[in-house]
Structure 1
Amino acid sequence: METAEIRRRWLAFFEKNGHSVVPSAPLIHDDPNLLFVNAGMVPFKPYFLGQETPQWDRATSVQKCVRTGDIEEVGKTSRHGTFFQMNGNFSFGDYFKEGAIRLAWDLLTSSPEQGGYGLDGDLLWATVYEDDDEAAELWPSVTGITTDRIVRRGKADNYWHMGVPGPGGPCSEIYVDRGPDYGPDGGPAVDEDRFLEVWNLVFMQHELSEVRSKVDFDIAGDLPSKNIDTGMGLERMASILQGVDNMYEIDEVYPVLARAAEMTGKQYGARSGHSAGSSHPDDVRLRVVADHVRSSLMLIGDGVTPGNEGRGYVLRRMLRRAVRSMRLLGHDDPCLPELLPVSLERMSQSYPELGTGFDRIAQIAYAEEEAFRRTLAAGTTILDTAVARTKESGGATLAGEHAFQLHDTYGFPIDLTLEMAAEQGLEVDREGFAHLMREQRQRAKADARAKKSGHANTEVWRDLRANGATEFRAYEELTSEATVIGLVVDGAAVTEIEPGQRGQVVLNRTPFYAESGGQVADEGVIAGDGAHLKVVDVQRPVKGLIAHTVEVVTGPLRTGASVLAEVDPEWRLSACQAHSGTHVVHAALRQVLGPSALQSGSYNKPGYLRLDFAWGQALSAATRSEIEEVANLAVRRDLPVSATFMPLPRAREIGALALFGETYDEDVRVVEIGGPWSRELCGGTHVQHSSQIGALTLTGESSVGSGVRRVEAFVGIEALRHLARERAVVAELSTLVGARPDELAERVGALVSRLKDAERELERVRREQVSAAAGSLTERARDVNGVTFLGHDAGAAGADDVRTMVLDLRGRLGTERPSVVAITGAAKGRPVVVVATNEAARARGIRAGELVRVAATALGGGGGGKDDIAQGGGQDPAKVGDALSAVEWRVGELAG
């Protein structure tokens, strides 16, 4: 049974049993504690925490998930993976333990012809929490399972909570006996390779007041409403139903592994078999490729782009680990163009949107691979330098800090560092590297713990939300009469706020737009009952509740007061212009560049917008002009702007574009500009006709990551002001060079050309002066214990001139006698020193790299290089004489 069919049967079974099918949330979720959705219940967490009221009694989903905590372990066993899918069914105060057990057993044991999975009930085992007598009695009565296949386990295995105060409860796990080939008999407590967990039923019934660890927590009492949260790993079930050993051999993963093996000439499992414990290096690398290619496909599909921090960094690591693994397997050419389409073919059966967006996905992934190939070249140079320095000092081990710098700063994988260092006869201080990595992880965990404490900050908002949702009037009006239903200062609820204080005001209704979808919040005032407050920000701390951050000018303001909330009309108009302008620029990009130029992020505020989009190369000046013209033609055509609410499937059917990473409700708001010309899901505020956007001028275009570009623009009055500033600059330049504006480019080009010619002439004269000076300097060379030593301070000469002089003088001194040349310079006040030795000097053990470090130390800096020539620098130009004397002294010491 293919994975896509297992998924389809899950949703069909629970829909038939009264559950609402909830589409998978994007992997990017609006939870500050998570980089990615990492469990099937994450989108439902606000309901379990009591922050929001669920719109269904029963729900089911197949949720896309990514876990990256043990990414370094991926491939080492067949269990570890990053992307996975979690089948879940949920009950919110509806059925409880008996219903959950009955539904799970029916789906698992019903025949394929009846829509089930057809597992033999005699091969199923169940675990229950050690004190959960109710579950222990229900299993045999509901399913007929024998009591010898029901195992009681402790908190570590069979009690679930979120790690913070809130809901929790005992759970029952369902295991499948895979037979004696996989391990000894005796149930899951004996061997969890043979007895494989496939489904966890969480009975959420307790309110936890304190959570200190997984097994150390306090139960305050029972929840007022008991809930069910279950999770079945789709990949794990696929491995069972497809009769394969592990997730790497299922139909959604193995084709990528097989193609990678074919490209590299490797045979998966040939040496050690591919059981759960297999860890042959080639098998590990093939698993890494299979896992990371699929995970990268799904992450990019949900709007993640490679970057140097956060989600982008995780994606970048995955792509680079896949490329690096192919390299270690012997494939040096680009590999993603071969592998990514294979993963697409399998995954698009369940996620057809991957197919429609594949041009964008491929563009980003292939650009990142090409960038990494360049990084490998640069990292190789840096590694070679570190290896040379280690050998110069007589060492046999590359310092852990060098390996960590290559890994952390340049993205150079540690195992590639190990391989390349070994090729040059060096080991790597792995313990030192591991220590630095542990320190980095500890910092990350400390940061995560600090973020996790943010759960407590929502309590005040949850209490306010329990009184009802804020009526959102921003689409209909700029002024609303309202009542103050809550005041918050420094995270705590108060009954009044005084002049000079800053806090949050919650109203029963508001005309203010709360920041979301890339649009900044409205500004304005709240006034009434003798109070006047300036609104400086508006946010949604929990769904359905709008909080206005205010500065109290006069007051006090008390809860229950009647007020008038007024949005600054100029602010709103400019914000509408910017947001509608963003849609227009997006449509113009797609018209000029093609449908793959999809928006991946945006930001707009009054008068300004920026838009990130998928594209692999810089836009030419002509292309930017064309995009700007298409956008302004749309403005001039006075296209109608409309906003309509409709079901999400209908919006997708008519081709409305969704912003990557956004989570949408079942009913969505579709904003159209000129009908199908621009049709996007959007909750922002907009103009009524495109002509109201006013002027629109692109001001910049740049890269913000592999395969992602950014355009910026001014709109409305800000666009006119920008053009006026540019006109003033053109006028001033025209006056300075004595040319009309239309002649300016030609005149400035001629001036630049003349300047370059002058610089080349100066460089020629400088080289001649250096050469002339070198002739007379040889007469100043001294004998130091049988070695000819020439030291000279070249004044304000730069590094290139000093290096040229050193090489010239070394040549003039000849090769018969050992000779050393040391020259210093101090261009722009920064001292530099270059030292060169001839072959006869090196034969006596005199090396330039060692001498330049002596000089650089005197200058308060550092340096290094090869035995024949080396360069260093420092901080103190007054010490150049000391540096030359130190080199001369060291030469005498070595020569003696």
Structure 2
Amino acid sequence: MQSAEISRRWLEFFGARGHEVVPSASLIADDPTLLLVNAGMVPFKPYFLGELPPPWPRAASVQKVVRTLDIDEVGRTTRHASFFQMAGNFSFGDYFKETAIPLAWELLTTPIAAGGYGLPEDRLWVTVFHDDDEAADLWHHEVGVPRERIQRRGMADNFWSMGVPGPCGPCSEIYYDRGPEYGREGGPVVDEDRYLEVWNLVFMQFQRGAGEGKEDFPILGELPAKSIDTGLGLERMAALLQGVDNIYEIDTTGAIITRASELTGIRYGADAEADVRLRVVGDHARTTVMLIGDGVLPGNEGRGYVLRRIMRRVVRSMRLLGAQEHTMGELVSRTIAVMGEQYPELINDAERILAVARAEEDAFGQTLRTGTTILDTAVRQAKEQGDAVLPGAQVFALHDTYGFPFELTLEMAAEQGLSVDEDGFRRLMTQQRDRAKADARAKKTGHADVTQFRALLDEGGPVQFTGYDEVTTQSRVRGLIVDGEPVSSATVGTTVDVVLDATAFYAEGGGQLADGGVVTLSDGTRVEIDDVQSPLPGLIVHRGRVVDGEIAVDALAVGEVDIERRRAISRAHTATHLVHKAFREILGETATQAGSENAPGRFRFDFAASSAVPESVMLDVQDRVNDILAADLAVTAEVMSQQQARDIGAMALFGEKYGDQVRVVSVGDWARELCGGTHAARSGQVGLVTL
């Protein structure tokens, strides 16, 4: 039975039993605790937690999943994969164990001719949580599984969570006995190679807190309703139904391995070490295509780094297998062909996916050539000196200067019989990050101890920002800081940080540069403001120089924003939103803002791309934006819930932190984006944009 048919039967079975059939969500998790979807239930998490009312009482899906925690085991075991598909059925307070258990048994054991998977009943074993007598009794009395094929296990094996705070609960797993040729008798507690897990039924009852590992976390309480979350690994089921030894040899991954064999001239099955590399290629090529298909681009941070690491393992594995030419395009094409029946969008987006993959292979080729030469020299020197460990400083230089992946250094050093000073490398990486953070913090705090700002925030609470509605605000001087220390007053010529109870000045943030202006007192004292920062959430600090008189704590003051600078920056910010929207229209959803700077008269818009943006695209974006400017659309801002913002299609930027209530800036009905910045009142005020 082909993978696409296994998926079709799953959805058809549960759809006929009152479940809403839900398409797979994107691998890009809509969850701040996750980079990528790592379980079939992730898209349904808000319903399990009671944060949102479920649209249906029960649902079924076949969800794309990426997990890289055990990436080094991929290809070396029969069970690990970085990409797989999790077929799941879910109940949101509708049914519980008494229904989930019989449904699972029915689908697994119903003959193939009758729409099931046709597994022999006497080959199936189950495990339950050690104190779950209810589940054990249901398996025995309701389904008919003999007691000797029901095994009890502890929290590490039969209690499920996503590994982060969220819903969790005891589970019951179904295993298939592949026979004595695969290992020892005794059930899954003895040998999980012979007894292959095919389905996990999670009885979602509790909410867990933060903690490490599979057992070291607190249970915070019960969920609003007892629910069901099950997961059947489609690839494992395919291996059983197709009669192959492991998940790498099924119809989809196996076809990619066959293509890799053709490209390298290495026959699969002829050499154990070569087989591992071929399996890595087969698995990682699928992961590559699915991630790029969902909008992830290779990068050095977050999910972009996950993709880059996966792709570079493919390229290096192919080269170690003997491939001399570029092969990523061929592997990606074969992957799209075999996965396209289940995911037709891959076929429609094939040109873009191929372009991204080929560009990354080109870039890595140069890195690999340069880095390998330097690493080979370091390895030779270490061996000549009788050292068994590569120094952390050398490895850091290789990573920092040449972009050579640390994980690749580990692999290549191990192949030469050397280890790496990982602690030294990570210490240097930490120092580098700390320096970068210190530089950013100094920009925010002016080198003052943040505790001084914390005291001002605790004393008077959050500063009231009035800048959306006015550019002049009367207030009280809450505090003054000079050279990092609090002072009661500051005289002419002094550079001073001024904190007011309320202000119209916009602090630098979200890509928008700070306002400038002047703070004046009734006696004529003037402080010219040239920078505004927010060193702590809720605190706005005006940085400037006293040019007349003496400013003192508790004095009444008027803050007046430089209106021309504000208007110029606001026009640039509105233009950035329009350019963002236009690029997404023309290049697709992957053209997502990765950074920006909105300054008087100019702006910079950053987004990831696999290659230089063609001039024709730049002109198309420019023309589209200027058409919107000429239409003179109203620019409005509205505060709403995150869900309301999603419902109206507002764009949010990954990596930004948003509260329960968000501010949505709209340019007519064309562009909507979550944003805390200031903007032009109408698109026509921006003028013309030239890219």
Kindly indicate whether residue 688 of structure 2 is the aligned counterpart of residue 695 of structure 1: yes
The yes-or-no answer on 1:634 pairing with 2:627 is: yes
The worse-fitting range, judged by mean Cα deviation, of 681-690 and 73-82 is: 681-690
Structure 1 residues 237 and 552, CA gap change in structure 2 (3 angstroms): same
SS at match of 2:64: strand
1:119 aligns with 2:133: no
Mind listing any 5+ residue stretches in structure 2 that lack a counterpart?
A: 435-450, 452-456, 477-499, 510-536, 542-565, 637-648, 656-664
Amino acid in the other structure paired with 2:462: R
Who is 2:304 aligned against?
312
Equivalent residue for 2:348, pick from 336, 341, 356: 356
Contact 2:571 2:686 in 1 (8 A): no
**Do the aligned residues in 1 keep the contact of 2:395 with 2:409 (CA within 8 Å)?**
no
**How far apart are the structure 1 equivalents of 2:110 and 2:666?**
48
The alignment's C-alpha RMSD in Å is: 4.8
| Partner in structure 2 of residue 430 of structure 1 | 418
Offset from partner CA, 1:129-153 (integer Å, 9 cap, x none):
1211111111123322222221122
Give ranges in structure 1 of 5+ residues lacking alignment: 272-279, 448-489, 491-496, 506-511, 513-520, 540-548, 554-567, 644-655, 663-670, 699-896
Please report how far the alpha carbon of residue 680 of structure 1 lies from its aligned counterpart in structure 2 after TM superposition: 8.2
Structure 2 contact 239–247 (Cα < 8 Å) conserved: yes
C-alpha distance in 2, partners of 1:24/1:658? 21
Q: Pick closer, same or farther for the CA change 1:266–1:406 going to 2, 3 Å.
A: farther
Does residue 330 of the first structure (1) align with residue 322 of the second (2)? yes
Deviation for aligned residue 1:257 = 0.7
One-letter identity of the residue aligned with 1:696:
V
Q: Is the 8 A contact 2:27 2:294 kept in 1?
A: yes
Say if 1:399 and 1:429, in contact at 8 Å, map to a contact too: no
Shift of 1:226: 1.1
Letter in 2 for 1:63: Q
1:579 aligned onto 2:567: no
The residue correspondences of 1:408-487 to structure 2 (distance < 5 A) are: 408-409=399-400, 410=402, 412=404, 428=416, 430-433=418-421
In the TM superposition, residue 640 of structure 1 has moved relative to its aligned partner by: 7.9
Q: In the TM superposition, what is the alpha-carbon distance from 1:221 to its structure 2 partner?
A: 5.9
Deviation, structure 1 residue 175: 0.9
Aligned match of 2:72: 72
Residue 169 and residue 636 in structure 1: after superposition, are their counterparts in 2 closer, same or farther (change >3 A)?
A: closer
Partner of 2:390: 399
Distance 1:437 1:20, change over 3 A: farther
Match of 2:607 in 1: 612
The verdict on how the C-alpha distance between 1:104 and 1:586 changes in structure 2, with shifts beyond 3 A counting, is: closer
1:62 counterpart SS class: strand
Query: SS state of the match for residue 308, structure 1?
Result: coil
**Structure 2 letter corresponding to 1:404:** V
Task: Name the CA distance, whole Å, in 1 between partners of 2:192 and 2:380.
Answer: 49
Shift of 1:94: 1.1
Give, in angstroms, the shift of residue 27 of structure 1: 1.7
Quickly say closer, same or farther: Cα 1:429–1:142, change in 2 above 3 A: same
1:285: which partner in 2? Answer: 277
1:502 matched to 2:462? The reply is yes
Letter in 2 for 1:501: G
Q: 1:120 to 1:524 in 2, by over 3 A?
A: farther
Aligned to 2:109: 109
Aligned counterparts of 2:264 and 2:210: Cα–Cα separation in 1: 53
Question: Is the alpha carbon distance of 1:13 and 1:672 closer, same or farther for their aligned partners in structure 2, counting shifts above 3 Å?
Answer: farther
Please tell me whether Structure 1 or Structure 2 has the larger radius of gyration of its CA atoms: 1
Partner amino acid, structure 2, of 1:121? E
Match of residue 337, structure 2, among 345, 357, 373? 345
Displacement of 1:522: 6.8
Any idea what the Cα deviations from partners look like across 1:560-617, whole Å, max 9, x if unmatched?
A: xxxxxxxx99998875554234334555xx4xxxx67962436678774625253523
Which residue of structure 2 aligns with residue 809 of structure 1? Answer: none
Aligned counterparts of 2:618 and 2:403: Cα–Cα separation in 1: 36
Q: Is the 8 A contact 1:29 1:661 kept in 2?
A: no
1:570–1:48 CA distance, 2 compared to 1 (3 A): farther
Alignment match, 2:292 = 300
Alpha carbons 1:10, 1:87 under 8 Å: kept: yes
- Per the TM alignment, residue 630 of structure 1 is displaced from its structure 2 partner at its CA by 2.7
Q: Report the counterpart of residue 2 of structure 1 in structure 2.
A: 2
Q: Deviations along 1:99-127, whole A, 9 cap, x unmatched? A: 11122122212233433222222221111
Residue 326 of structure 1 aligns with an amino acid whose one-letter code is: M
TM-score by length of 2: 0.70
Q: Following TM superposition, by how much is the alpha carbon of 1:264 offset from its aligned partner in structure 2, in angstroms?
A: 1.2
Percent sequence identity over matched residues?
49
Q: Distance in 1 between matches of 2:101 and 2:65?
A: 24
Conserved? CA contact 2:65–2:83, under 8 Å: yes
Q: 2: distance between equivalents of 1:504 and 1:170?
A: 48
- The reply to whether residue 256 of structure 1 matches residue 256 of structure 2 is yes
In the superposition, the TM-score normalised over structure 1's length comes to 0.55
What's 1:881 paired with?
none
Q: Which amino acid aligns with 1:233?
A: G
State the shift of 1:292 in Å.
1.3
Q: Distance in 2 between matches of 1:388 and 1:210?
A: 45
Shift of 1:66: 1.1
Aligned residues: 569
Aligned equivalents of 2:359, 2:81: Cα separation in 1 = 24
The residue aligned with 1:240 is 240
CA distance 1:396–1:304, shift in 2 (3 Å) = same
Instruction: Give the match for residue 180 of structure 2.
Output: 180
8 Å CA contact 1:200–1:230 kept in 2: the answer is yes
**Corresponding residue of 1:150:** 150
Amino acid at match of 1:582: H
* Counterpart contact for 1:125–1:174, Cα < 8 Å: yes
The structural deviation recorded for 1:294 is: 1.1
**1:648-704 deviation line (CA, Å, top 9, x unaligned):** xxxxxxxx9999989xxxxxxxx99999xxx88977899999756531122xxxxxx
**What is the alpha-carbon distance in structure 2 between the residues aligned to residue 222 and residue 628 of structure 1?**
51
Q: Which whole-Å CA distance do the structure 2 matches of 1:55 and 1:605 have between them?
A: 40
Report the alpha carbon displacement of residue 78 of structure 1 after superposing the two structures with TM. 2.7
Deviation at residue 356 of structure 1 after TM alignment: 1.9
Q: For the residues of structure 2 that align with 1:13 and 1:64, how far apart are their CA atoms?
A: 19
Structure 1 residue 405 displacement after superposition: 3.8
Q: Flag as ranges the 4+ runs of structure 1 deviating above 6 A.
A: 413-422, 437-441, 521-525, 568-574, 604-607, 639-643, 656-662, 671-675, 679-690
Against the structure 1 CA distance between its residues 552 and 260, is the aligned structure 2 distance closer, same or farther, given a 3 Å change threshold? closer
Q: Matches of 1:440 and 1:135 in 2, distance apart?
A: 51
Partner AA of 2:689 in structure 1: L
Cα 1:152/1:436, change in 2 over 3 Å: same
Aligned residue in 2 for 1:38? 38
Structure 1 position 379, deviation (Å): 1.6
Task: Show the counterpart of 1:880.
Answer: none
Cα offset, 1:369, TM superposition: 0.7
1:24–1:64 contact (8 Å) kept in structure 2: yes
Please give the secondary structure, in 2, of the residue aligned with 1:253.
helix
The structure-2 alpha-carbon separation of the partners of 1:27 and 1:207, relative to structure 1 and needing over 3 Å to count, comes to closer
Contact 2:410 2:420 in 1 (8 A): no
- CA change 1:70–1:44 in 2 (3 A) is same
Q: Shift of the alpha carbon at 1:375? A: 1.1
Q: What is the distance in 1 between the residues matched to 2:136 and 2:330?
A: 51
